[in-house]
């Protein structure tokens, strides 16, 4: 699997299509007082699905790295118990199978590992291929460290143990950052919803108050500018709160 690409399932396509149609109808009603105006948002569906794919891909990366770290932790424990590197991965596979199930990303990868091992492919080459497909710094670093240690005859058990420790420290730092940002993320969601809520409230409670903004060139222009500003604010806020360690 190439983790840099994401292919949406039929269920996901239907789900996000329904969400987009609902959002387009709501925006059309709130900003233009016409459900037919939602047709204008059809071209924007391309950008929407591109954004959705990026979010789904990011979520898959997060699942993969979390499962990978647990797998490496199991490998470290098995090697400290005296298993060879190859057998340590097999021992860790049993733990991952119980922890995440046979449909998980890491279990599928480990099964691919073993299939290649059985054909004589070196473990370090398998890890390098995995790192290349995953495109993640932690996995790439581990594959390089593992390769250097195995070629130079280093203490594999101690090296992997230290690597796991460093990865856990980085994970703790990421968690601390996410805790700090959680409040900001909630505020960002609220600020994106409030403008729609205000407009819908004004329309439902006293439509005549904002009637001048509908069905005329000036009103449509004003509403379009407002919508563009809100979209830009949402985009920038998303960029600011997505911090990587």
- Rounded to whole angstroms, how far apart are CA atoms 84 and 92? 12
Task: Compute the distance between CA of residue 198 and CA of residue 192 in angstroms, rounded to an integer.
Answer: 11
pLDDT at 207: 62
Question: Would you state the pLDDT for residue 115?
Answer: 93
One pLDDT digit (tens) per residue for the chain, 245 residues: 888 888 999 999 999 999 999 989 888 888 888 888 888 888 889 989 998 999 899 899 989 998 998 999 898 888 888 888 889 999 999 999 999 998 899 999 999 999 999 998 988 899 999 999 998 888 998 888 888 887 776 677 788 888 888 888 888 888 888 787 777 778 878 887 888 888 888 877 766 777 777 888 888 898 889 888 888 888 887 777 665 55
pLDDT at 107: 95
* The model's pTM: 0.81
For residue 175, the model assigns a pLDDT of 81
- Distinct helix (H) and strand (E) counts, the chain: 8, 0
Predicted local confidence at residue 244, as pLDDT = 57
Residue 146 near residue 127 (C-beta atoms within 8 A):
yes
pLDDT for the residue numbered 245? 52
CA dist 23 and 26 (Å) reads 5
Domains of the chain by residue range: 10-241
Instruction: Quickly list H helices, 119-155.
Output: 123-134, 137-152
CA distances from 33 to 29, 30, 37, 213, 220 (A): 4, 6, 8, 9, 10
Q: How many CB atoms lie within 10 A of CB 138?
A: 19
């Amino acid at each position: 699997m190439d983790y840099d690409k994401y292919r949406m399932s039929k269920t996901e396509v239907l789900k996000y299509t329904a969400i987009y149609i609902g959002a387009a109808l709501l925006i059309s009603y709130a900003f233009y007082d016409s459900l037919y105006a939602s047709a204008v948002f059809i071209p924007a569906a391309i950008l929407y699905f591109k954004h959705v794919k990026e979010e789904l891909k990011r979520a898959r990366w997060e699942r993969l790295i979390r499962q990978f770290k647990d797998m490496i932790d199991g490998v470290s424990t098995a090697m400290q118990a005296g298993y060879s590197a190859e057998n340590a991965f097999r021992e860790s596979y049993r733990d991952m199978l119980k922890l995440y199930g046979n449909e998980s990303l890491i279990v599928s990868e480990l099964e691919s590992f073993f299939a290649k091992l059985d054909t004589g492919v070196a473990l370090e080459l398998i890890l390098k291929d995995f790192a290349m497909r995953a495109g993640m710094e932690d996995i790439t670093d581990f594959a390089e460290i593992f390769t250097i240690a195995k070629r130079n005859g280093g203490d594999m058990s101690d090296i992997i143990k230290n690597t796991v420790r460093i990865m856990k420290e980085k994970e703790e730092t990421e968690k601390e950052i996410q805790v700090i940002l959680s409040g900001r993320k909630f505020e960002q969601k609220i600020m994106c919803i409030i403008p729609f809520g205000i407009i819908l409230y004004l329309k439902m409670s006293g439509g005549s108050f904002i009637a001048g903004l509908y069905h005329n060139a000036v009103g449509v222009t004003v509403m379009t500018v407002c919508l563009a500003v809100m979209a830009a604010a949402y985009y920038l806020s998303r960029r600011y709160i997505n911090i990587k360690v």
